[in-house]
Structure 1
Amino acid sequence: MRLTVFGTGYLGATHAACMAELGHEVVGVDVDPGKVAKLSDGVTPFYEPGLEEVLRRNLDAGRLRFTTSYPEAADHADVHFLGVGTPQKKGEYAADLKYVHAVVDSLAPLIERPSVIIGKSTVPVGTAAELGARARAAATAEVEVAWNPEFLREGFAVQDTLRPDRLVLGVDSARERADWVAELVREVYADLLAADVPYLQTDLATAELVKVSANAFLATKISFINAVSEVCEATGADVTVLADALGYDARIGRRFLNAGLGFGGGCLPKDIRAFMARAGELGADHAVAFLREVDNINMRRRTKVVDMAAKACGGSLLGANVAVLGAAFKPESDDVRDSPALNVAGMIQLHGAVVSVYDPKALENSRRVFPTLNYATSITDACDRADVVLVLTEWAEFTALRPEDLNPVVRSRSIIDGRNCLERARWRDAGWVYAGLGTP
């Protein structure tokens, strides 16, 4: 099939490349000529394992190309995926839909034959219906809007696109062409459906709520174990062993029960806040009021680590040398949006410390957000003469660290494990002062 994908950020570029990998002829569209040029050369503007190989393979095969031209895209296909960002509005919790509206407003007048716009972006419930009316008012041909939310995990995005754990499609069943829309989407994903990927067809509102509800649940699970870790810290209990015990309960499961610095990134924080904002607009704010405490617990973990760093430096960070290992919000990503690690590094610097940050992939993005921090080129460079070392992103090269790797370079043998990812006995046996979150 011939498809377009509007937006070539993390979601859009991944979806475009993977749809081409499934055999479709795909045009990726973006208003940023720089992004289009990079992608056309086979270079991703962000780090995602395996994506560049898929991108280059399909560029070389002629199944994938990128453009800034909306007329070219409108002429190319009848199936248009919408994968632009929906960031948090400045000064508000609500999602900013200006990029979504811009695509629809620019594309719809160019559509000259029956077409469908399929949303992938995470949007407030009710957006799809509004976009449908908006598109039909501007188009000269029949236009339908459906919603097919993404469930990508950074670091596993290619896998999650080519072999997702489910496909959800929301359609407006009141529209005459609803069955036509569903059939088109089933054709797009024919290989996945043949591989028995679960497929759920819903109304528009349900499809919009699936993604944000999933993110709210995961955020709640993470904040739950972090709330328990606060009790563990007050009692001397061990949250890691407690989480293992909870995880054996099939109703609960072990995943996302890792106490530590908490969640960040471009999805969970802004999505739960947008969920709260939309619920308030619908008069149902009481139903998700608990998410405010989920958010509060998550942010408290960051200030807790800053306090732990000050304690490790004798009660004050003024003039201390602090090594921060990790800047991305999670390993296998260069994404620093709302990164707990980078947030903590910035707060520690504001307390008067000299902060040296090292991350295997996220240094360039970090410099754009916090240009005043010092950025190291290696672990040993970051830890040179450090009074305390903070492990804040669980990259494999950090979890594999041994005390003897750092003994010759640090000024003080003190380490804070912000992800509870190190073997604390090894560090303590080697004479280090080890501190974790929710652990004795």
Structure 2
Amino acid sequence: MLNIVDLRDQVDAEVDYTTMVPRAPFDVSAALDIVAPVCQDVATQGVEALQRLSEKFDHVVPQHFRVPAEALHRALEGLDPLVRQAYEIAIERRRVVAFQELGPQQVDVEVATGAVISQKMIPVNRVGLYVPGGRAPLASSVIHNVVPAQVAGVAQIAVTSPPQAEFGGLPHPNILAVCALLGVEEVYAVGGSQAVAMFAYGVDGLCRPVDMICGPGNIYVAAAKRYVQGRVGIDSEAGPTEIAIVADDSAIPSHVAADMVSQAEHDPMAGSVLITDSEELARKVDVVIAAQAAQARHSARIHEALKGEQSGIVLVRDMEQALAVADAYAAEHLEIHTRDADALAQRVTNAGAIFIGTWSPVSLGDYLAGSTHVLPTGGGAKHSSGLNVKSFLRAVHLIRYQQGATDAVAKDVIAFAESEDLPSHGNALRVRVEDPDGSRA
């Protein structure tokens, strides 16, 4: 069922595995021309544009773009008790981990006598969270974005999710229920690139601009985030979700197959990749995947994802080559199913999150493991981290030099400034040394 990529005859030092591993293109630039006029319409026409765009893209115009408080409470009251319990466990575990991520809020370093540099962590003031509402109502995304923002100390958190015709123009009730559980009261029924524009530019009488936009979405949401970046901060341009699994002949085929199928369930563009040195495991996984996919509720979507160019089985010589391939792929989610999974995990350098051993499937991280599930895609793990508390904090340096400490390095600053042909920079130190009390002014 799966495409096979055989890399066993490749020499690590001579090849770029990045070009050889399965991955579908995700061209955000191509969508920019489409989202640019949408964003500009929202910026200039406000609610009128939201009404027109909501009708066009969501096929429903909400009675209220801002979700009424009673709708949030009603959604929470109507939540299935078992689902509510799962949400509460997820919130509790993510919050526990988030507090550990927070770390010290101020660090003071005395670089010389009378010369102190402090670093203070200041939270972003206002954050807008986009929550998809298409194939799957990602209530989990609310938890994994809101909890670290709250722990970071973000003062204002606004959430938006596409209006759903079947729910009277409101977002999915589960999304509203989680917002209520988390105490988020500013919730909007706006979707797509117009929602990103609403957060970036603000809409008079409805929504004030935010300082940062986070949350996943389709290629148009990603393109809109790129379009408004600079005016506001963004978390990332999330592409299709992906999983890579490094496995040897000790792996359990049904476990590996189930995790690849679960990732394919997200989207027809989702990537599921097995990297293994065992041909026997590869054959077994391929057979089991076909059986599991055929029985799945979203069988058509899963088959499309698994048969796409972004999914497949990569055959390698040994675990050393497997590690090299995994680091080149830089998976959003990396599972390790090997005899020495812990040791191998410590050697990985590029992954959004690493799931160690057969009892740590990605599905745990998606929901309530306590880790973040907002992770870099498309190889972004080579340079970016998953969303965490520090994503919502800005590091600000406070510089406190006493007179003696400044005098001690004045000549060095003057020399440095002259070397860059910026003499007035040096003069700012010279006047302090020559006229410390300003009496010559």
Shorter-chain TM-score tier: under 0.3
| Higher normalized contact order (CA 8 Å, seq sep 6+, divided by chain length) | 2
* Bigger radius of gyration: 2
TM-score by length of 1: 0.22
